[in-house]
Homo-oligomer: A and B are copies of this chain.
């Protein structure tokens, strides 16, 4: 087993990896940008070294700086988390050349699956179904128009190097295509340094179902069941669950086998995810492969009992995976909500700022993977995700009810978050009955942006009492439910003395 690992990431995922390392008795090195000095991942690592600078390019994307720190301080391996350098083949190669173990697949697998068009071709060659569309990056507006005509509107434009909804556009008719293509291309360039865009058939009411796989260096490949991630806004997942209500054992086996085929097709090593779209006729199509840990991996952990980060580390150490049929039977049901700093009413735009008050939820069935502390700042420089709340229940209903309870308990002030919006989704009849699709939020827009339900009189009174007592700390109880006002003052006096 490794003695020391450098974690080339920040936020909740860095802290989450540190925790798994501690549980294995492995020392950890954190790296940090200037504005992350006060972030939890820096405090909870055994060692921490500054990267110097603030932008992603100067810090968490600067592979050379990170490799140098790893070598200087005796790390044997690097865990890239997700995002940043996690799917950067050059970094994986540089790390290996520097004598470090990259905790992930080979640079060749990353490259192969990193190009969405190349990945599609490979899948087709290996009999994994793909969505109809152009196989390669579009060369011109004319080609895009012709291709769209061939497969039929609506179509989806997607970044070749992309993921996470960046550089993605839905186009309903030929008139919209030229400007959508330009804007997607610009976004792709800025996010991935590659402006290539491809086109594909847009599926109606599709579900996003993905399979978690593990592959070791002894040739074993297993799947750990699926996650349904259909609830998305701006093409980004916000609620994920495992298992999916729509899969039966037969379909799960069929998709699981396809996932293993996909992994084998690129000689995959370590943890990876095969994303599929499932249409209403229960046809599934390969979407892409994420050659890294997913944001939503905790729901799989809760229903399989595995620690996926520990599995990653063991595989990277050369150990063989010793799992059998974990992909078929699950322990209850798990749901994850991503808590984002964003302004839901304003098209989910990021809402940066300082967290002035934070008291997370806890209690039965609740796990939190958070990357922030009270006083931390959600900046513009990185992803605006604050925390992941994960609920487990013996069935889906219990998991969802526990999640709603936890979201209502969660207290965070200073910035706008999507917590109220998440609660409205979870309470929506269509969500409760499991009628999900990637267009869920658009379909149910009118009910999801409804007004709050707490008594307006109580809310009004809260504002008034704060207003009246802005300058002093008061504690007042009207006398109806209590013996006399006097006893209240006595009580306060007593409390002061006992402090």
Give every chain B residue within 8 A of A483 (Cβ-Cβ): 52
B298 pairs with A495, CB closer than 8 A = no
Q: Which residue of B lies closest to A370 (CB)?
A: B362
Give every chain B residue within 8 A of A363 (Cβ-Cβ): 15-16, 19, 367-369
Please, how many angstroms separate the alpha-carbon atoms of A368 and B23 in the complex? 18
B49 pairs with A481, CB closer than 8 A = yes
Please, how many angstroms separate the alpha-carbon atoms of A161 and B149 in the complex? 84
A44 in the interface (beta carbon within 8 A): yes
A354 pairs with B23, CB closer than 8 A = no
Copies in the complex: 2
B409 pairs with A23, CB closer than 8 A = no
Interface-lining segment among A89-97, A98-106, A113-121, A397-405: A397-405
Please, how many angstroms separate the alpha-carbon atoms of A481 and B72 in the complex? 12
Q: Which residue of B lies closest to A354 (CB)?
A: B499
Q: Which single member of B364, B370, B380, B491 contacts A19 (CB below 8 Å)? A: B364
A174 in the interface (beta carbon within 8 A): no
Contacting residues of chain A (472-499) with chain B, CB-CB under 8 angstroms: 481-483, 487-488, 491, 494-495, 498-499
Assuming A305-B331, A331-B305, A499-B354, is B20 touching A364 (CB within 8 A)? Answer: yes
Min distance, Cβ A421 to any Cβ of chain B, angstroms: 20
Give every chain B residue within 8 A of A369 (Cβ-Cβ): 362-364
A152 in the interface (beta carbon within 8 A): no
Min distance, Cβ A492 to any Cβ of chain B, angstroms: 9
Interface of chain A: mostly helix, strand, loop or mixed: mixed
* Number of A interface residues in the complex (CB < 8 A): 57
Give every chain B residue within 8 A of A409 (Cβ-Cβ): 44
B398 pairs with A50, CB closer than 8 A = no
Assuming A50-B481, A377-B495, A394-B306, is B23 touching A405 (CB within 8 A)? Answer: yes
Give every chain B residue within 8 A of A23 (Cβ-Cβ): 364, 398, 401-402, 405
Min distance, Cβ A243 to any Cβ of chain B, angstroms: 15
Please, how many angstroms separate the alpha-carbon atoms of A25 and B397 in the complex? 12
Q: Which single member of B35, B362, B405 contacts A491 (CB below 8 Å)? A: B35
Min distance, Cβ A342 to any Cβ of chain B, angstroms: 17
8 A-B contacts (beta carbon < 8 Å): A19-B363, A35-B491, A301-B364, A354-B499, A359-B373, A360-B362, A362-B368, A363-B368
Known contacts A34-B487, A307-B364, A379-B498; 9 further A-B pairs (Cβ under 8 A): A20-B364, A23-B364, A49-B481, A54-B494, A306-B394, A307-B365, A352-B498, A362-B367, A365-B367
Chain A residues packing against B (C-beta within 8 Å): 15-16, 19-20, 22-25, 34-35, 44, 49-50, 52, 54, 298, 301, 305-307, 331-332, 352-354, 359-360, 362-370, 373-374, 377, 379-380, 394, 398, 401-402, 405, 409, 481-483, 487-488, 491, 494-495, 498-499
